[in-house]
Amino acid sequence: MRRFSSVLAASLVVLAAAASLLPAARAHNITKILAQHPEFSTFNHYLSATHLASEINRRLTITLLVVDNSGMADLLAKHLSLPTLRNVLALHVLTDYYGAKKLHQITGGATTSATIFQSSGHAIGTAGFINITDHSRGKVTFVARDSGGASPATFVKSVKEMPYNISILQISTILSSPEAEAPVAAPGPVNLTALMANKGCKAFADLLLATPDVLKSFQSNLDSGLTVFCPDDEAVSAFSPKYTNLTAAGKSSLLRYHAVPVYYSPQLLKTNNGPFSTLASDAHNKNYKYTVKSDGDVITIKTHIVTADITSTLIDQDPNAVYVIDKVLEPRELFKVPEKVIADAPAPAPAAPPKKKKSTAAKHKAAATAANGAPAPTTPAGPEESPADDDTAAADNAALRTTAAAWTVLAAAAAALFLA
């Protein structure tokens, strides 16, 4: 039993050390990638117009089947609505990774892959699945399960591969699917205040209705992308005395501070690093920013004054998201930072003591020593010399020591594993 425990402990150490040395998964931007290939400009345009581009960018593993501009012309000739176009293009986003090499190594010569359309909730039954077949002489075809007898599309070439995050493959024609091409009613406009009022944020909705210019700025971002952090009624009630004391401009800034002019799904909130610019940032050209952190499924918004938790989601439908939070967000531009926060801030480093000047006698002694053949003292670095280089070298050495230490831990743990 002891030997098993030792082996298990050593294994965990090995895995942890190895994981720390692995590079993080690379992010991808499908719009920028396709922008380098003008022959796919129409396909690229409609990925953005249907908001599929953001869906693709936030997924870690996908394969995108693209067609050139002439292939898209055939699709656009059908005059489908934008929501229906989204479904058709979503059928071309496989939720697994297929590079050119993998296509020719399919076990049994055929496989089936799910797509974003299949997981969207609009697909019924087997719709949304793509059959991939590796034929003789290197020919590979793709066809929707519910193709209705349409001819399959043929693999043309690999456009871009980032194993095992994203693969972009060109196919000969658009994949046909009666289910994907079925008419879809355009979604109605989002009524922010009604949505908030019915889901526990009535007090905040009333504040927006009382400031029409702010509500208008919220609504003007609905089509391009908007994320709102809506304090619940209890939070607004507790904050009411502070809100009453604000000027009209201050109230406007505070309300705008609760909206970000970009769509953020819960997954994007968890993976985003850095400060969030808000509608208040845009309106006043000031900071009015905060950071978003996550710990497991808990997502928090941190200003310099308060930390609020997201307690529920009112809507998460690209390009809009509204989240309920348990506190009103207070920007430091309007409120005083608590003394505790100031006290907890790191103290500035003490100033270096002034250098002592050498006495005349010491200078003569040093000169005499040098004249007698003894090595002269090293000249201190001037302001343009070593300090910056020393800092860089120190950082490089620290990085090397960290890497070496990690490999040492890995080697030691591996040795313990085999010797136990």
pLDDT of residue 280: 92
The kind and range of the H/E element at 153 are strand 153-162
Q: If one looks up domain 37-171 in CATH, what number appears?
A: 2.30.180.10
- Domain assignments of the chain as residue spans, ordered by start: 37-171, 192-330
Interatomic CA distance for residues 6 and 416, integer angstroms: 8
CATH of 192-330 given 3.40.50.300, 3.90.420.10, 3.90.226.10, 2.30.180.10: 2.30.180.10
Domains 37-171 and 192-330 share a fold: yes
Beta carbons within 8 Å of 344's beta carbon, 6+ residues apart: none
Beta pairing partners, 171? 155
Alpha-helical (H) ranges within 115-272 are 116-119, 192-197, 202-209, 212-219, 233-244, 248-256, 266-271
Structure tokens that stand for 56 in this block:
């693709």
H/E run at residue 2: helix 2-21
Strands 320-325 and 276-277: unpaired
pLDDT in tens, 164-197: 899 999 999 999 999 999 988 766 778 999 999 9
pLDDT in tens, the chain (420 residues): 445 445 444 444 444 444 444 444 456 889 999 999 999 999 999 998 888 988 898 888 999 999 999 999 999 999 998 889 999 999 999 999 999 999 999 988 999 999 999 887 778 878 899 999 999 888 999 999 998 889 999 999 999 999 989 999 999 999 999 999 998 876 677 899 999 999 899 999 999 999 999 999 999 999 888 999 999 999 999 999 999 999 999 999 999 999 999 888 887 888 776 789 999 986 555 689 999 998 888 999 999 999 999 999 998 887 889 999 999 999 999 998 876 555 554 555 555 555 555 544 444 444 444 444 444 433 333 333 333 333 333 333 444 444 444 444 444 544 444 445
Question: Which conformational region is residue 309 in: left (phi greater than 0), alpha (psi within -120 to 50 degrees), or beta?
Answer: beta
Sheet-wide strand order for 289-295: 259-260, 226-231, 320-325, 307-317, 298-302, 289-295, 276-277
Q: How many CB atoms lie within 10 A of CB 414?
A: 16
Share above pLDDT 70 across residues of the chain, in percent, rounded to a whole number: 72
Specify the pLDDT at position 264.
86
What pTM, to 2 d.p., does this model score? 0.51
Report the chain's mean pLDDT, rounded to a whole number: 79
pLDDT in tens, 245-257: 999 999 999 999 9
Helix (H, G, I), strand (E, B) or coil at 346: coil
Residues 307 and 162: their CA atoms lie apart, in Å, by 38
**323 with 314: CB under 8 angstroms?**
yes
Give the strand pairing for 226-231 and 320-325: parallel
